[in-house]
Amino acid sequence: MPSIKCSCGTIINMSEIPNPNEWLLISDVEYDNFSGQIDSEKLYMKMKTMLVCQKCKRLLIFWSDKIREATSYKLED
Ligand SMILES: [Zn+2]
Domain boundaries, the chain: 3-73
Q: Measured in angstroms, how far is the CA atom of residue 29 from the centroid of ligand 1?
A: 30
Q: Indicate whether 20 pLDDT > 90.
A: yes
In contact, 12 and 50? CB cutoff 8 Å: no
Between 18 and 65, where is the model more confident? 18
Backbone angles phi and psi of 70, in degrees to 5? -105, 145
CA 35 to centroid of ligand 1, rounded, Å: 37
pTM of the model: 0.86
In DSSP terms, which residues pair with 25 in a beta bridge? 48
DSSP-derived secondary structure letter, 21? T
Average confidence (pLDDT) over 12-31: 93
pLDDT of residue 1: 57
CA 6 to ligand 1 centroid distance, Å: 5
Would you give the end-to-end CA distance of the chain in angstroms?
A: 30
Mean pLDDT of 71-77: 94
**pLDDT, tens digit, 9 for 90 and up, residues 31-72:** 999 999 999 999 999 999 999 999 999 999 999 866 678 999
